[in-house]
Structure 1
Amino acid sequence: MLQLSESGRLQPPVLRIGFWLMEAFDLFALANALEPLRLANQLAGRSVCQWQILSLEGQPLHASNGIATATARLDQAQMLDVLILCGGENLPTGSDHPGVRQQLRYWATQPVSLGALGKAGWLLAQVGALDGFRCSLPEPDPSMAFAAFSELTPVAAPFCVDRQRLTCVGPQAVQGLMHELLARTHGRGLILRMEKHAARQARPLLPMPNTPAKLQATLALMNEHLDRMLGIDELAHDMGISRRHLERLFKRSLGCSPSRHYLDLRLQQARQLLRAGEQPLSDVARECGFVSLQHFFRCYRQYFGAHPRDHVGANSPAMAASQPTSMLK
């Protein structure tokens, strides 16, 4: 059901997702699922999705790399639109987890979308939850009799969303699966904004091997003076070229102006300092060449889509999992 925003405009309801973890789950896959959801909330400026980290018994579970993650009991989950099973490389047997298949059969009958990441999709197949649905599954284990799954309709794609079933072949495909889920609820416009944000974040801030020597020298000078921003005329003078020539070098090689790239460098440095969590915001702003906190906050929000305080401290998958309703303040 559509809801009214404060401005009176209709907006889609919040997408509520539960991630059902199993022991030795793939933390990389979970992180790849959580990050698009966090970014969607951040760029939308409101909570467009919420998530819960669940398990059968509600106890802390260890990922395949040993990192422990707190969970809530599956049978005590809040209202869900989507439930996604997250396992690891080794599928459990019925004797190891007698309640898993029983719960999967139950949820397959509920009015929610049921999905799985990577090999956990085969558990859905084993209980018949994928019968009659198109699905994307990784290669089955040699011990698994693929002929037994005659009702499956596998597709040669990294991920697949078919009505109320969501599957993907592995950790690298999880992001695409989340994008598709968000797009069906909140529209392709949000996904486009997320992709543009990611492209901007990926812009190279260090010289590439084939860049002109003058440009490489300018970039090195910028990196050496992040706390006191040099003027563009000053940079050009130090390089022995005109300002116009310097601007052409940046535009041709990096697709932006010298001042834009210089600001990018300072903001990236600010984020690194904030993530270390060892300095107050005022010190970070000063060390990155911002003359006022207000200017720093405004530039940071425009570039990262978040307030600097949102990036203070380590930004690990475990932290993301502990904040199920993360949204921009």
Structure 2
Amino acid sequence: MRYKPADSGTPRLRVGFVLARSFTLSAFAMFVDTLRLASDELDRSGRVLADWQVLGSTRHLIKSSCGVEVAPTSDFVDPAQFTYIVVVGGLLNVERPVDYDTIAFLKRADAQKVPLIGVCTGSFILAEAGLMKNHETCVSWLHYEAFKERFPDLIVRSDRLYELDRTRGSCAGGSSAADMAALIVRQSISKDAERNALEVLQIERARTALDVQPRRPLDIDCNDDRLKSILIVMEQHVENIISLKKLADSAGVSRRQLERLFQQKIGKSPAQVYMELRMQRARALLSQSKAPLIDIAIEVGFESAGRFGKVFKRTYGQTPRRMREEMAH
């Protein structure tokens, strides 16, 4: 069944949404409401400059992770009707979050060069379908390890809010969906349309793709985005330790600048902070699993249980084995 825009004329921006089972309602709502408010003046909700549809292989209600259900408004029509196809994911423990017809539709959209966007864990669905090759994927820090484990050959990062190029997009979910949608509105409609949407949504400014996810490893509070980004990268690489040079490169600074930045903002060297993050992860593993100490040592970047035990005792004043015994009581 073909759909027609609600208002006369051809909207400049047309977005088709694909909702996974147990999708994240907040991410979908933030994205679609940014389009709605950008499409008309004030908040009249007319589909003048943008149009959107929820696409599905059936018209059955799709339940979100919070229990609210949304009904598809269109069948899988010709993907070329849309400027973007946006896949909104949700809970990762759901088996087959979308059906085979949906995967076939996404592959057809790719073949027709329609840009595909994964919101929240929608990027997992695109990656599973083989549609994220040669593209850097942005995921939430919460889902970084799961993505890396499931798709080891793909490039993934969890320090930025979103990634968007001419053919692919991905974002961490939550409010970052509005930031990405705002950029799309600005590019496809106008800055005025973007401003209208953000003002009605009570968003002071749209964050950019260079903004860092709001995550504070070790409860370190700082206002430097370069430092925030490096801390997140450290946290996500406690097993496969990254060199200081690569950490510096990830934030666009030199190694000397990196060391100066840590001393000025935290009062410690990058190596000291990195080790603290590794020890914090080791302590969590001791309390949350019954894994052998050698396995925990390897998981936090040590080659031997002996070396791990010495550093752990120096950090916490007792051996890993002793701490595990105390935690068990």
For residue 76 of structure 1, give the secondary structure of its aligned residue in structure 2.
coil
| Mapping of residues 8-27 of structure 1, within 5 Å | 13-27=11-25
Larger C-alpha radius of gyration, 1 or 2?
1
Q: Which residue of 2 aligns with 1:111?
A: 113
Separation (CA, whole Å) in 1 of partners of 2:167 and 2:147: 25
Letter in 2 for 1:69: V
Higher relative contact order (CA 8 A, sep 6+): 1
Q: Which residue of 2 aligns with 1:164?
A: 167
Cα deviation, residue 147, structure 1 = 7.3
148-157 or 177-186, which deviates more: 148-157
Note if contact 1:94-1:101 (Cα within 8 Å) is conserved in structure 2. no
Cα deviation, residue 157, structure 1 = 1.6
Separation (CA, whole Å) in 1 of partners of 2:97 and 2:197: 43
Q: Which residue of 1 aligns with 2:70?
A: 69
Separation (CA, whole Å) in 1 of partners of 2:182 and 2:97: 35
186-195 or 35-44, which deviates more: 186-195
Note if contact 2:144-2:157 (Cα within 8 Å) is conserved in structure 1. no
Q: Deviations over 1:189-210 (max 9, x none)?
A: 3323444455599xxxxxxxxx
Q: 1:147/1:91 Cα in 2 relative to 1: closer, same or farther (>3 Å)? A: closer
Q: 1:157/1:12 Cα in 2 relative to 1: closer, same or farther (>3 Å)? A: farther
Separation (CA, whole Å) in 2 of partners of 1:96 and 1:196: 34
Cα deviation, residue 132, structure 1 = 1.7
Q: Which residue of 2 aligns with 1:88?
A: 90
Q: Which residue of 2 aligns with 1:187?
A: 190
Q: Which residue of 2 aligns with 1:39?
A: 37
Note if contact 1:125-1:131 (Cα within 8 Å) is conserved in structure 2. yes
Aligned residues: 192
Cα deviation, residue 54, structure 1 = 1.5
Q: Which residue of 1 aligns with 2:123?
A: 121
161-170 or 44-53, which deviates more: 44-53
Cα deviation, residue 184, structure 1 = 0.9
- Using structure 1 for the length normalisation, give the TM-score: 0.50
| Mapping of residues 278-293 of structure 1, within 5 Å | none
Q: Which residue of 2 aligns with 1:6?
A: none
Letter in 2 for 1:114: L
Letter in 2 for 1:41: S
Separation (CA, whole Å) in 2 of partners of 1:32 and 1:92: 23
Q: Which residue of 2 aligns with 1:218?
A: none
Q: Deviations over 1:75-121 (max 9, x none)?
A: 23682111111121226545983444333333222231111210111
Where do 4+ consecutive residues of structure 1 move more than 4 Å? 91-96, 141-145, 196-201
Separation (CA, whole Å) in 2 of partners of 1:28 and 1:94: 21
Q: 1:27/1:96 Cα in 2 relative to 1: closer, same or farther (>3 Å)? A: closer
Letter in 2 for 1:87: G
Q: 1:199/1:120 Cα in 2 relative to 1: closer, same or farther (>3 Å)? A: closer
Q: Which runs of 5+ in 1 are unaligned?
A: 1-10, 202-329
- Using structure 2 for the length normalisation, give the TM-score: 0.50
Note if contact 1:25-1:86 (Cα within 8 Å) is conserved in structure 2. yes
Q: Which residue of 2 aligns with 1:101?
A: 103
Alignment RMSD: 3.3
For residue 66 of structure 1, give the secondary structure of its aligned residue in structure 2.
coil
Cα deviation, residue 188, structure 1 = 2.5
Separation (CA, whole Å) in 2 of partners of 1:107 and 1:91: 26
Cα deviation, residue 18, structure 1 = 0.7
Cα deviation, residue 57, structure 1 = 2.2
Q: 1:56/1:192 Cα in 2 relative to 1: closer, same or farther (>3 Å)? A: same
Letter in 1 for 2:62: L
Separation (CA, whole Å) in 2 of partners of 1:196 and 1:58: 34
Separation (CA, whole Å) in 2 of partners of 1:195 and 1:110: 32
Q: Deviations over 1:232-290 (max 9, x none)?
A: xxxxxxxxxxxxxxxxxxxxxxxxxxxxxxxxxxxxxxxxxxxxxxxxxxxxxxxxxxx
Cα deviation, residue 173, structure 1 = 0.5
Cα deviation, residue 158, structure 1 = 0.5
Q: 1:12/1:135 Cα in 2 relative to 1: closer, same or farther (>3 Å)? A: farther
Percentage identity across aligned positions? 19
The correspondence for 2:178, drawn from 171, 175, 178, is: 175
Note if contact 2:11-2:51 (Cα within 8 Å) is conserved in structure 1. no
Q: Deviations over 1:115-138 (max 9, x none)?
A: 121011112122231222233222
Note if contact 2:15-2:52 (Cα within 8 Å) is conserved in structure 1. yes
Q: Which residue of 2 aligns with 1:146?
A: 149
Q: Which runs of 5+ in 2 are unaligned?
A: 1-8, 205-329
Note if contact 1:19-1:54 (Cα within 8 Å) is conserved in structure 2. yes
